[in-house]
Chains A and B, each alone.
Chain A
């Protein structure tokens, strides 16, 4: 490391909407009780899953694209300071203004200041995870600035004073009738005859937002990609609300995490093939806008970009976890996740739900923040997320890594070991020697006594009660395999040569 004047800056954890305020099992328990939610989620995740599979299967070079995408992102992380400086130089040269924000508060204050400078009190917004993460809408409201979400799903969630539950389809937890009711209740001038036909509801949203689009002077957006070699920004969308926000207002304020960079224009060809197929299961999303600073006479003439750290540097500092920052927010991992499918996004607390959220949130906030240490355990490690990830983030491995970070962070801090701690210690002792395990297995017949005449164990104490909540355990056998084998192969010497087989070969 080179020498700095004074202390080097240490990575700092993020703030904002990155925290689970209750433990995942508690939140999941509540969400699982909502039958409507589970039905909606089951339908939605299965639909996207199937579409994605179909679209991925169309490409003969999907795996090669994933390899390229993964390597490009790894290279971005390795070269991040240099690429950020290069991007800044290019963006600034084309008339844009860059602002750097250490955390959520700083980013919010910068955006509010920029809006105030325009004299406006309303902004239109394109769906953006980064502004959700920093709680921008709420902050602007406190400052007397109204932010209008323009993505249909975001609009639904905003009108209902709810929180998004999915990265890509934020209102995935609501069905058409619930949405109709929200429009009737919250949308000024909604037609009382409104039906719950999605096309009718979409037209109601169009009518509601069109005036806003046509008169808006300031827009706030996120960005899907930023190209270091040209200073270009990209927004990927479907409805045209993005184009409206990016094209019609006089001022555009974009908020983007520092990890969103791609080195070159050529890299875009990889990610624009990976992203739409992985997220909406389309060959290409209806609209993608790319802009490089200010274009005279076309689009916003005041262009700002807020580059956000907010815990990304902390995630980057974790060598095992840093590839979580490769995430392009496609949401494929949550669509294939059996846990997400049943609990929905709210159970994860943070802006980032599902498998990626279960690693990204604790990486950005530190494992000990609020209830975020429960997130890495919200997975059966089935691995479906890793297979679906277009940039090959090994989510199961990072989940396991973060579990060990969690366990290690508590070592020596507790007055009494937890049941899990004690159990793991005992199991480690028992399972690290064939002899000891063999001795313990001598007690198997005891388990048969516990099981009783119906030969099953239906109630266990302590943490194991979680198992017997919905599962029996079979009565153990009379003897272990080890013990049987020893009897079968009792020989004068200790070699484990088998007896000749009793079986006839070539049966039947």
Chain B
């Protein structure tokens, strides 16, 4: 299968190791990965902040980059960006009265998948250790991000994949379904409430005794990791793609207060 990677702006710029991990996983399964170079961002920050006009060119750019027959399915390592592509893009197009863009956005959305969704539903991954060689001997807790959970209805796909990683010690996160408080510009506009939500999330993470918190959304992980770092916690965050890509021969790097993805780490 020919799979187009939508890296998402935050992973592209801040967490390239996550995207590289996604590529590794897909290639290990024997698929061909392409990276449409015109891609940039899904635009949900604009939409969610009320800047619909400003979102239009961002959405149009994404549609232009992905509206090709050059690939079979698209995948992104982020539930909220996929939810935006699927649910928000047609709405944004409609809001500016662009029927053609709406139709193309809908078509792009229909073949865009979140990583765990693609792995489980389309590529039939049920056992990460056996099928991907995933090996990760650490105590890990898992935060299911809101948009994956409630907009994409990912259910336990991500958790199931994690559970099938060899060596992993997966600790249940208390109140896992509670939002970490990120919410895009919410974290700045309502910084106090956002911080209070984050405090509870990091306290719950600490209570698990895990050395690492994983999830499927880089932005939530950046938020949680940023909070842990500020609190001086030794717990770090790591995207689920990097855990799945980690093998005995090539283990993922898990050191550093805030997960710092240097260019060399995963090579």
Contact = CB atoms under 8 A, between A and B. Distances in A.
Contact of A496 (B35, B135, B183, B230): B35
A384 B227 contact: no
Interface stretch (B99-107, B110-118, B119-127, B145-153): B145-153
Interface in B20-64: 20, 23-24, 27-28, 30, 32-41, 43, 45-55, 57-58, 60-61
Interface string B226-247: 1101100000000000000001
Interface in A387-416: 387, 400, 402-408
- Interface centre among B11, B36, B178, by most chain A C-beta atoms within 10 angstroms, is B178
B12 A455 contact: no
Contacts of B177: 384
A441 B13 CA distance: 6
B183 to A, nearest CB: 3
Contacts of A383: 146-147, 149-151
Interface residues on B, range: 35 or more
B53 to A, nearest CB: 8
B40 A25 contact: no
A505 B28 contact: yes
B50 A382 contact: no
B109 interface: no
Given A424-B54, A471-B227, A455 B256 contact: yes
Contacts of A71: none
B260 A477 contact: yes
B203 interface: no
A475 B223 CA distance: 14
Contact of A431 (B15, B58, B186, B194): B58
A9 interface: no
B19 interface: yes
A474 B34 contact: no
A197 interface: no
B30 to A, nearest CB: 7
B1 interface: no
B190 A24 contact: yes
A25 B226 contact: no
Given A382-B146, A481-B20, A496-B35, A469 B222 contact: no
B65 interface: yes
A508 B46 contact: no
A117 interface: no
A380 B179 contact: yes
A379 B190 CA distance: 8
A447 to B, nearest CB: 9
B227 A470 contact: yes
Contacts of A437: 9, 12-13, 40-41
Interface in A215-244: none
Contacts of B166: 508
A342 interface: yes
B259 interface: yes
B182 interface: yes
Interface stretch (A81-89, A246-254, A456-464): A456-464
A267 B149 CA distance: 32
B122 to A, nearest CB: 18
Given A484-B263, A496-B36, A505 B186 contact: no
Contacts of B38: 433-435
A464 B191 CA distance: 10
| Residue of A464, A475, A477 with highest tally of chain B CB at under 10 A | A477
A467 B47 contact: no
B193 A378 contact: yes
Interface string A39-74: 000000000000000000000000000000000000
A446 interface: no
Contacts of A24: 190
B230 A420 contact: no
A166 B159 CA distance: 35
A28 interface: yes
Contacts of B230: 458, 470-472
A497 B183 contact: no
Interface string A11-32: 0000000000000110011001
30 contacts: A338-B179, A379-B183, A379-B186, A380-B197, A382-B146, A383-B146, A384-B150, A384-B179, A400-B47, A404-B50, A404-B51, A427-B54, A431-B9, A431-B43, A432-B60, A455-B260, A466-B194, A470-B194, A471-B223, A471-B230, A479-B263, A481-B11, A481-B12, A481-B20, A482-B35, A496-B37, A497-B32, A501-B27, A506-B133, A507-B133
Given A437-B40, A498-B33, A501-B24, 20 more contacts: A29-B192, A338-B178, A380-B182, A381-B48, A381-B186, A387-B150, A404-B52, A404-B95, A428-B46, A431-B41, A432-B57, A434-B65, A437-B41, A463-B188, A471-B187, A473-B226, A476-B14, A477-B261, A480-B13, A508-B166
